[in-house]
């Protein structure tokens, strides 16, 4: 019983983890892309459609990644090249994504989906208790863990990661140092979009292999909140994602057990938890200021 609960928590947490990890890199470079929800839902609908039409779940996943990145490219062109307001552009991207996905997905509603099979690592997955949890998960679960390791290593142990952090900390100085601020931000934004697309595909291919309009249900916003929650540190995102995943699943189980609380209130729990955590974090200014990328959300125009 407990093992299966833990496994479902992992499935609930993985899309949050992937999307938030992408946004973390974006924000570390000093760009605030509020379009995560929009890129995610586009990933979900594309992933589902491609998988359903080709019969290959993997093709669906790759298509979702590409579409997420394409949407991010649109954001980058507007916010970085044309220097539009990042907040407004991100919000527009979300609204656009939600609308477009609903339209594209109309004919896919109710169709059976293609599911990505779990990988069972021979021998290890039969271990008692942790076997299924650690060694019998869907492939994207492993991707999410590798992603975390990779992002943490990239940010804090490579020169490119150092440059990305520098751009996020002070883009004027970075430009004066000869670092290509806009170029680095484009790459970061594309990476963030690819991650959001992948997270969307996770929802429509692994989590519930079907297409429902609005199926991201605010997960993109939770991913954004998670980045702040984690104070821009990769491993804290893992902790945050699993905490939120836990609340989501706990709420489902509480409903199943017939706890005498209205189901709407239980469904609202993850969002309430987000607000509480954000309030608690913003009270500690030291914690937020030491890690907050100082250029976050500020437009950069090189003066040449």
Q: In whole angstroms, how close is the CB of 31 to another protein at the nearest point?
A: 16
Rg (CA), the chain: 19
Stretch that binds another protein, among 15-23, 43-51, 85-93, 171-179 (CB under 8 A): 171-179
Stretch that binds another protein, among 58-66, 96-104, 174-182, 221-229 (CB under 8 A): 174-182
Identify which of residues 173 and 208 has a Cβ nearer to another protein in the complex. 173
Stretch that binds another protein, among 89-97, 120-128, 140-148, 166-174 (CB under 8 A): 166-174
Do residues 151 and 234 lie in contact, with contact meaning Cβ atoms separated by under 8 Å? yes
Stretch that binds another protein, among 55-63, 125-133, 215-223, 288-296 (CB under 8 A): 288-296
For the chain, give the number of residues. Answer: 304
Total Cβ atoms within 10 A of residue 107: 10
159 touches another protein by CB under 8 A: yes
30 touches another protein by CB under 8 A: no
269 touches another protein by CB under 8 A: no
178 touches another protein by CB under 8 A: yes
Total Cβ atoms within 10 A of residue 170: 15
301 touches another protein by CB under 8 A: no
Q: Which of 124, 130, 172, 272 binds another protein (CB under 8 A)?
A: 172
Stretch that binds another protein, among 10-18, 96-104, 167-175, 257-265 (CB under 8 A): 167-175
Q: In whole angstroms, how close is the CB of 145 to another protein at the nearest point?
A: 26
H helices, E strands: number in the chain: 13, 0
Give the separation between CA 239 and CA 17, rounded to whole angstroms.
9
Q: In whole angstroms, how close is the CB of 286 to another protein at the nearest point?
A: 5
What is the helix (H) or strand (E) element at residue 205, kind and residue range?
A: none
Total Cβ atoms within 10 A of residue 223: 30
282 touches another protein by CB under 8 A: no
Instruction: Reduce the DSSP state of residue 30 to 3 states and report it.
Output: coil
Total Cβ atoms within 10 A of residue 219: 29
163 touches another protein by CB under 8 A: yes
Q: In whole angstroms, how close is the CB of 165 to another protein at the nearest point?
A: 7
Give the separation between CA 279 and CA 111, rounded to whole angstroms.
42
Give the separation between CA 284 and CA 186, rounded to whole angstroms.
31
Tokens describing residue 263: 């189901």
169 touches another protein by CB under 8 A: yes
Do residues 43 and 102 lie in contact, with contact meaning Cβ atoms separated by under 8 Å? no
Give the separation between CA 32 and CA 40, rounded to whole angstroms.
16
88 touches another protein by CB under 8 A: no
Q: Which of 35, 47, 246, 293 binds another protein (CB under 8 A)?
A: 293
145 touches another protein by CB under 8 A: no
Q: In whole angstroms, how close is the CB of 291 to another protein at the nearest point?
A: 8
Identify which of residues 163 and 254 has a Cβ nearer to another protein in the complex. 163
Among candidates 297, 76, 302, which has minimal Cα distance to 180? 302
Q: Which of 162, 212, 252, 281 binds another protein (CB under 8 A)?
A: 162
Among candidates 46, 14, 40, 17, which has minimal Cα distance to 207? 14
Q: Binding residues for another protein, per CB under 8 A?
A: 159, 162-163, 165-166, 169-170, 172-179, 285-286, 289-291, 293-294, 303-304
């Amino acid at each position: 019983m407990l093992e299966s609960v833990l496994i479902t928590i992992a499935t609930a947490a993985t899309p949050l983890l992937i999307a938030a990890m992408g946004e973390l890199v974006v924000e570390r470079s000093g760009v605030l892309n509020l379009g995560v929800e929009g890129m995610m839902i586009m990933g979900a609908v594309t992933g589902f459609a491609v998988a359903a039409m080709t019969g290959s779940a993997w093709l669906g996943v790759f298509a979702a990644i590409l579409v997420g990145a394409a949407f991010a490219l649109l954001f980058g062109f507007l916010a970085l090249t044309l220097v539009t307001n990042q907040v407004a552009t991100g919000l527009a991207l979300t609204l656009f994504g939600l609308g477009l996905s609903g339209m594209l997905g109309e004919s896919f509603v109710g169709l059976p989906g293609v599911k990505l099979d779990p990988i069972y690592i021979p021998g290890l997955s039969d271990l008692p208790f942790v076997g299924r949890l650690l060694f019998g998960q869907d492939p994207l679960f492993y991707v999410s863990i590798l992603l975390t390791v990779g992002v943490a290593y990239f940010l804090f142990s490579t020169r490119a990661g150092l440059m990305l952090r520098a751009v996020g900390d002070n883009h004027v100085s970075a430009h004066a140092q000869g670092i290509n601020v806009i170029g680095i931000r484009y790459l970061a934004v594309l990476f963030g979009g690819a991650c959001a697309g992948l997270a969307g595909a996770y929802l429509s291919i692994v989590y519930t292999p079907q297409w429902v309009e609005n199926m991201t249900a605010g997960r993109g916003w939770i991913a954004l909140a998670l980045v702040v929650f984690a104070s821009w540190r990769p491993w804290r995102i893992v902790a945050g994602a699993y905490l939120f995943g836990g609340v989501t699943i706990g709420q489902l189980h509480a409903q199943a057990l017939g706890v005498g609380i209205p189901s709407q209130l239980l469904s609202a729990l993850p969002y309430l938890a987000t607000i509480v955590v954000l309030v608690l974090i913003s009270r500690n200014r030291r914690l937020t200021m030491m890690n907050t990328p100082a250029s976050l959300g500020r437009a950069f125009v090189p003066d040449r």
